Amino acid sequence: MKTTYEVNKKRLAKLLAMEEERFIKANPKSEEIYKRAQRSLVRGVPMHWMDNWPSPFPLHLKKAFGASLADVDGHEYIDFCLGDTGAMFGHGNEEVAAAVQNQITQGSTTMLPTEDAFWAGENLQQRFGLPYWQLATSATDANRFAIRMSRIMTGRDKILVFNGKYHGSLDETQVSIEDGKMVPQPRISSNAVDFERTTKVIEFNDLEALEKALAPGDVACVLTEPIMTNVGMVPPEPGFHKVLRDITRRTGTLLIMDETHTISTSPSGYTGAYGLEPDFFVLGKAIAGGIPAAVYGMTEEVARAMRKYTKKDGYSINHCGFGGTLAGNALTVHALRATLEKVMTEENYNHMTMMAEKFEQGVTAVIQEKQLPWHVTRIGARVEYMFSKSAPTNGGEAKAIREPELEAAIHLYLLNRGVLLTPFHSMALMCPYTEEEDVKRHTQVFRNCIEEIV
């Protein structure tokens, strides 16, 4: 499928060069820090993704507040990236900030549970429908533990993922499909993982391939998002989730629903909104308002197995490996409670969704005005524009319609005019502090940018 708008590459390259120059001129302090940091940090940043913006170097943050950012060179930005979802409930959310300030002086990590944890367990149970819960420090870890538990329960080694997925840096998920075959993802060496033994990868929405892959009964779990969000957005076709659940149940395969991004759908995620019935529910990033945390829910059956597997073995040492030293600590759990109780409310979601609808309408209007064969997908508070007439049906199609230079040019044009999108793709997220004026600003700058390009 190649239905993209054929942009004039020369014109695009010229625009990109102009925008790079403009960025460099406007950000001398960020550049200076970046250059100095090359001597102590790999690629000049504490985590290499921070160097993956389309700009020649990353902005250096001074302060983030509500739906805005300020950088060290004195510019302000409307933030639609929101820490790639970690700050989905706003920067410095007052409820989370108060909870963190309160708890930090009363102990942050002690290896003892607090009453907040029990409160959170009950809230998660009611909210997402699964009866038992555990904490981890990141979504990556939570997925790792759900996979581990699935393997323990089924005695099977393999997991199944969909082409184009991202669920964290889990070794056995680092594969993709090329020419119909599973291959290690580019730049990931096999890392001592025998993918043939650990992994199956198929295209999203391909129920025939799913049936075939699960039929031998050698797959411990399917790990998926309800809508793919890490290769652009790929929605499920009608009936996909029902059949996925039927086949996984029939073949004794556990189903892990990773809602780390799709929690944008509703206060109970996509699972709550569409009545899905996974065996595991994973949610990280924003769940404790920006304090590193993840939760994973499980069925009664899984909890029974986990209880058995993690049970105290007399007084002997237990290294069986779920969680981690700082998982579920007092500070995290206090922030988690504040987020669940006071931030992940219907009222906030209504506002965020309304802003996202306006964002979607703005972009759609520009696409229609300029008669571009592009489309917009929205899932609650999250919006993505992509360069094809209709939404891709799987990760392979989504990869084929990527236009990295075009995307970089749009992102940098927006950034130079005070609007920040998520790097890697054109994803915008709304938070409780996002205002209609912010959305209008995006639409206006996006329109100007498109006029320069086409």
Amino acid in position 307: R
Running DSSP on this structure, what letter comes out for residue 323?
S
Q: What track of x and - describes contact with ligand PMP for positions 271 through 300 (by CB under 6 A)? A: -------------xx---------------
Pairing of strands 199-202, 158-162: parallel
- Could you tell me how far CA 269 lies from the centroid of its own chain? 13
**Closest distance of CB 284 from ligand PMP, Å:** 5
The only residue of 68, 140, 251, 348 in contact with ligand PMP, by rule CB under 6 A: 140
Running DSSP on this structure, what letter comes out for residue 430?
-
Stretch that binds ligand PMP, among 52-60, 161-169, 211-219, 400-408 (CB under 6 A): 161-169
**3-state secondary structure string across 331-382:** HHHHHHHHHHHHHCCHHHHHHHHHHHHHHHHHHHHHHHHCCCCCEEEEECCE
Closest CB to ligand PMP among 200 and 285? 285
The only residue of 167, 241, 351, 382 in contact with ligand PMP, by rule CB under 6 A: 167
Asked if 384 touches ligand PMP (CB under 6 A), the answer is no
Positions in 215-244 near ligand PMP (CB under 6 A): 225, 230
How far apart CA 401 and CA 54 sit, in angstroms, is 18
Asked if 91 touches ligand PMP (CB under 6 A), the answer is no
Long-range contacts of 352-355 (CB under 8 A, 24+ apart): 352/264, 352/380, 352/381, 352/430, 352/431, 352/432, 352/434, 353/380, 353/381, 353/430, 355/381, 355/430, 355/434, 355/435, 355/436, 355/438, 355/439
Place of tokens 């943050």: 61
Phi/psi of residue 237, nearest 5 degrees: -75, 155
Stretch that binds ligand PMP, among 53-61, 137-145, 171-179, 205-213 (CB under 6 A): 137-145
Asked if 260 touches ligand PMP (CB under 6 A), the answer is yes
Closest CB to ligand PMP among 167 and 442? 167
**Closest distance of CB 431 from ligand PMP, Å:** 17
How far apart CA 55 and CA 237 sit, in angstroms, is 36
Closest CB to ligand PMP among 165 and 375? 165
Closest CB to ligand PMP among 257 and 338? 257
Stretch that binds ligand PMP, among 132-140, 149-157, 314-322, 423-431 (CB under 6 A): 132-140
Structural tokens at position 252: 């004794």
**Residue numbers at the binding site for ligand PMP (CB under 6 A):** 138-140, 166-168, 225, 230, 258, 260-261, 284-285
